[in-house]
Amino acid sequence: MTIKDILGKLEYASNHPKELMKQYLDENKKVIGLLPVYTPTEIVHASGMIPMGVWGGKTEIDAAKEYFPAFACSIMQAILEYGIKGSYDGMSAAIIPCMCDSLITMTQNYKSGVSGMEMIAFVHPQNRKIQAGTDYLVTEYEGVKKKLEKICGHEITEEALQNSIDVYNEHRKVMQEFIELVPKHLNTITPYLRNAVIRSGLFMKVEEHTDLVKQLNAELKAMPEEKFDGKTVMVTGIIFDDKEILNLLEENNIAVAYDNVAQETLQFDTLVPNEGKSALERLALQWRDVEGSTLAYDPQKKRGKMIVENCKRVGADGVIYAMMKFCDPEEYDYPIVMKDLKNADIPHLYLEIEQQVGSNEQIRTRVQTFAEMLV
């Protein structure tokens, strides 16, 4: 396949998750929805069922207003709206990690408002660097495993779990390679296509996605490095997948060279370690190793420093802080990250984004102004 063919397949998967889910159901596969962030995907994969990311999307909020106040996280409102309206019909269950106030309340709202599927909730420990935190998370994963075993109708074996960890670690390595290749090919990999390559991994079978991205990496490595005449940025936030906004960057000759985004690089930049007495303990130890995420408790506040370091490493000209509307953890992090960027003399653009249907004209103006600042 040509690079155009590969990108086309990944773009299609990114934009058509419902069609992919129908395909899986037609194959007599059960589908499990995974809400953000840091759900134990390997447990679902080891069961033989299909894990699919559930991250909402642009929609009018109507039915969800009966469950969430207007100031609730935009992603949670959109997910619930889609769920109530039947977009996730066919899924056997939804796994919800209780990582913030909105996700905690989502468990009961989802259970009440979305029919036809089981709700599986679990809680990550905040004291994740100590053995007690790891032990606690193992018990949470055991609870998730037992509920999934009831749905799939068989035991999820230790061998299957270890195999799934290997499968996903390979995927993580392939995606890490892609991320490092992007800054050398910013004319070919536009902000929108970069996101499509990553986002498609939420919906495709992991083996198929790994294979396609491997082929993409091989094609990129065979190409000469490209000279990009515009400016480059690093993006940070929970999610930054709005096609219109991504295309606005391209229109203003801005490329995304790297990211610190929960839906993007933060999904796969931490491998599941080899240490641990069992597969579930290995998965729990991965949570211990996560760094630079607003949702992973970090008293040392490394996120801003990590962003500065990666900006300098890839030669990014600035940072876009994509603030999901009404996201408390991100709002708490912003002043600290902003201070680190200011101390490093790295310009940044604060963009408040949401998943409700509306105009992006204010964002257009801000992006245009930021592009002029970077010149």
- CA nearest to 371, candidates 347, 339, 341: 347
| CATH fit for domain 25-157, picks 3.90.320.10, 3.40.800.10, 3.40.50.11890, 3.30.70.270 | 3.40.50.11890
Burial (CB count within 10 angstroms: exposed 0-12, middle 13-18, buried 19+), residue 274: exposed
The answer to whether residue 5 scores a pLDDT higher than 90 is yes
- Tens-digit pLDDT profile for residues 15-57: 999 999 999 999 999 999 999 999 999 999 999 999 999 999 9
> What is d(CA 133, CA 126) in angstroms, rounded to the nearest whole number?
7
- Tens-digit pLDDT profile for residues 124-162: 999 999 999 999 999 999 999 999 999 999 999 999 999
> What is d(CA 128, CA 135) in angstroms, rounded to the nearest whole number?
10
Q: For residue 355, what pLDDT is reported?
A: 86
Burial (CB count within 10 angstroms: exposed 0-12, middle 13-18, buried 19+), residue 76: buried
Q: How far is CA 81 from the centre of its chain?
A: 20
- CA nearest to 315, candidates 197, 182, 219, 220: 182
Please name the residue ranges forming H helices in 272-360. Answer: 279-289, 303-314, 328-343
Q: Are 134 and 108 in contact (CB under 8 A)?
A: no
The answer to whether residue 1 scores a pLDDT higher than 90 is no
- Judge if the upstream peptide bond of residue 174 is cis by omega within 30 degrees of 0: no
pLDDT confidence bin for 176, thresholds 50/70/90: very high
Number of Cβ within a 10 Å radius of residue 53: 19
- Total-model pTM: 0.96
Q: For residue 299, what pLDDT is reported?
A: 93
> What is d(CA 193, CA 246) in angstroms, rounded to the nearest whole number?
9
User: Cα–Cα distances in Å, from 92 out to 147, 156, 365?
Assistant: 11, 17, 43
- Tens-digit pLDDT profile for residues 303-340: 999 999 999 999 999 999 999 999 999 999 999 999 99
Helix (H, G, I), strand (E, B) or coil at 70: coil
